[in-house]
């Protein structure tokens, strides 16, 4: 397998996390009790899919390393999927549990995009730069929306107890 550069490795992680996010948002949407929350999660899932598609295009252009990048992305996706399974499965799992997991996952995604951006300041890869310009504002919005929704769900749960 080809040796991945730091840029390739971070690209793979961004790809894998975006792929996993598309799945996880669907799982959390099943726990949501209202249409507005489900709609938010569906939009987030679609944006994650778009980010993954764009990251795949960048990876596919990295001659000699694309297979290794996709392998690393699969590994990253699997790791997050296993964490989600542990966190989201159980008969008492509710929407708040799902959003608490998303707080961690979305922050991780945003952080990986920022690290990719920092590494690319040195590498100056135009395709990676385009990916970052697309993904960074989405991730920043996802972090804010997930945090806001989590806190609203927590307040609602506190009122009901």
pLDDT score of 1 more than 80: no
Q: Which residue has the tokens 């699997």?
A: 78
Distance CA 14, CA 116 (A): 8
Instruction: Report the percentage of the chain scoring pLDDT > 90.
Output: 93
User: Is residue 10 within 8 Å of 72, Cβ to Cβ?
Assistant: no
Give the confidence band of 91 by pLDDT, cuts at 50, 70, 90: confident
pLDDT digits (tens, 9 = 90+) for 40-88: 999 999 999 999 999 999 999 998 999 999 999 999 999 999 999 988 9
- Name 10's Cβ contacts closer than 8 Å, sequence gap at least 6: 112, 115, 116, 119
Query: Mean pLDDT, to the nearest integer, of 139-152?
Result: 98
Torsion angle of the four alpha carbons 30, 143, 124, 52, in this order, in degrees rounded to the nearest 10: 0
pTM, to two decimals: 0.95
User: Could you tell me what percent of the chain has a pLDDT over 70?
Assistant: 99
């Amino acid at each position: 397998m080809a040796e991945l550069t730091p840029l390739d490795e971070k690209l793979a992680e961004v790809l894998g996390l975006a792929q996993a996010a598309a799945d996880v948002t669907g799982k959390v949407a099943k726990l949501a009790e209202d249409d507005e929350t489900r709609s938010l999660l569906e939009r987030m899932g679609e944006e994650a899919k778009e980010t993954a598609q764009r990251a795949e295009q960048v990876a596919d252009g990295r001659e000699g390393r694309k297979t290794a990048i996709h392998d690393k992305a699969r590994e990253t996706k699997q790791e997050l999927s296993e964490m989600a399974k542990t966190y989201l499965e159980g008969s008492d799992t509710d929407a708040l549990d799902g959003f608490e997991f998303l707080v961690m996952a979305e922050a991780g995604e945003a952080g990986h995009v920022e690290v990719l951006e920092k590494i690319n300041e040195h590498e100056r890869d135009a395709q990676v730069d385009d990916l970052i310009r697309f993904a960074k504002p989405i991730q920043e919005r996802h972090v804010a929306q997930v945090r806001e929704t989590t806190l609203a769900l927590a307040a609602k749960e506190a009122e009901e107890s």
